[in-house]
Amino acid sequence: MFLNLAVITGLVSCCLSATYDKPDDVPNIDWDFIIVGGGTAGSVLANRLSENSQFNVLVLEAGPTNRKVTDSIVPGLEGELANTLYDWNYTTIPQRGLNNRSLTLRRGHILGGSSSINGMIYTRGSSSDYNRFAEYSGDPGWGWDNIQQYLRKHEKFEDPVDNHNTTGQYDPAIHSTTGRVPVTLPGFSFPQVDRLAIQASEQLGGDFQYNEDMNSGTPLGLGWVQYTIGHDGTRSSAATAYLDDKARARKNLHIVTNSRVTRVLPDPNTKALTIRTVEVRVSETSNPVKFTASKEVILSGGTIGTPFILMHSGIANADKLRESGIKPLLDNRSVGRNLSDHFFFEVSFNVVPNSLDLGHWGNLSGDPALRAEALQIWNKNRTGPYVEPVPYAHLAWTRLANNITEKFGDPSSGPNSAHLEFRMGAVSPTAYDVIAVVVSPVSRKSTSNYPWITIMMLGAPGGTLAIGSNNPFDEPMIDPGFYTSDFDLVAAREALRSAFTFASAPVFQNVITGVAVPFTNATTDSEIDNILRNITGTGLHPIGTASMSPQGANWGVVDPDLTVKNVTGLRIVDASVMPFVPCAHPQVATYVIAERAADLIRSAWKRT
Q: Give dist(CA 385, CA 374) in Å, integer.
A: 6
Say if residue 557 carries a ligand binding annotation. no
Phi/psi-derived region of residue 605, left when phi > 0, alpha when psi is between -120 and 50, beta in every other case = alpha
Q: 231 an active-site residue? A: no
Angle between the N-to-C axes of helices 40-50 and 587-606, in degrees from 0 to 180, rounded to the nearest 10: 30
Cβ-contact 242, 156 below 8 angstroms: no
Say if residue 148 carries a ligand binding annotation. no
Q: Give dist(CA 561, CA 515) in Å, integer.
A: 49
Q: Give dist(CA 431, CA 34) in Å, integer.
A: 35
Q: Which helix (H) or strand (E) holds 407?
A: helix 402-408
57 DSSP β-pair partners: 33, 253
Q: 312 an active-site residue? A: no
DSSP 421: E
Q: Does residue 518 have a cis bond before it (omega within 30 degrees)?
A: yes
Q: Which helix (H) or strand (E) holds 33?
A: strand 31-36
Phi, psi of 583 (to 5 degrees): -85, 70
Burial of 372 (0-12, 13-18, 19+ CB in 10 A): exposed
Terminal C-alpha separation, the chain: 50
Helix, strand or coil for residue 108? strand
Would you give the distance in Å from CA 349 to the centre of its chain? 28
Selected catalytic residue, list 175, 231, 254, 585: 585
Selected catalytic residue, list 254, 342, 419, 541: 541
Cβ-contact 507, 200 below 8 angstroms: yes
Write down how long the chain is: 608
Say if residue 586 carries a ligand binding annotation. yes
Look at strands 31-36 and 289-299 and give their pairing.
Answer: parallel
Q: Which residues are known catalytic residues?
A: 541, 585
Residues making up the binding site for FAD: 261, 586-587
Residues making up the binding site: 261, 586-587
